[in-house]
């Protein structure tokens, strides 16, 4: 994204392309890949801002996609308990700066009951979706 197009053009293109993503599974895959790209964008604020914009434009409406994003969000307490050498202060601050608003927006969109419900495994939600589609 090195000055190929302006930020406004990029945002218009992404908004248009992401409007076609309707399948929850596709959304989950994109969340995983965008989180991985965000981790690899060391020190590149423009790339991080673009990835955060992409995540904000995804229609995340399932708890599974939310959990994927939340699991990839570095947690200071857990990281310090495991190994202080692996903890990257700059990465944590970047996640907080760019992705915290995205996470808050997704939490606001999801039903509060879904977020407060007990943790269920992803495999237990998959058969329910298949049953719903067959009905």
pTM of the model: 0.65
**Could you report the per-residue pLDDT of 113-123, keeping only the tens digit for each?**
566 663 444 44
Q: Is the pLDDT of residue 97 over 90?
A: no
User: What was the pLDDT predicted at 117?
Assistant: 60
Q: Delimit the domains of the chain by residue range.
A: 7-134
**Could you report the per-residue pLDDT of 48-89, keeping only the tens digit for each?**
899 989 998 988 888 888 888 888 876 544 444 455 445 467
User: What was the pLDDT predicted at 41?
Assistant: 83
Q: Are 58 and 64 in contact (CB under 8 A)?
A: no
Tell me the helix, strand and coil percentages in the chain, rounded to 5. Answer: 75, 0, 25
CA distance to 11, 93, 115, 124, 127, per residue, from 34 (Å): 15, 17, 22, 25, 26
């Amino acid at each position: 994204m090195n000055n190929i197009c302006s930020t406004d053009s990029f945002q218009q293109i992404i908004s248009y392309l992401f409007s076609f993503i309707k399948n929850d599974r596709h959304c989950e895959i994109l969340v995983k890949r965008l989180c991985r790209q965000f981790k690899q964008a060391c020190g590149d604020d423009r790339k991080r801002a673009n990835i955060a914009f992409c995540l904000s434009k995804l229609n995340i409406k399932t708890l599974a996609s939310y959990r994927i994003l939340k699991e990839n969000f570095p947690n200071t307490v857990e990281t310090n308990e495991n190994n202080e050498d692996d903890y990257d202060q700059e990465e944590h601050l970047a996640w907080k700066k760019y992705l915290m608003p995205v996470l808050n927006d997704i939490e606001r969109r999801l039903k509060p009951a879904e977020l407060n419900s007990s943790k269920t495994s992803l495999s237990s939600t998959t058969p329910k979706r298949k049953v719903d589609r067959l009905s």
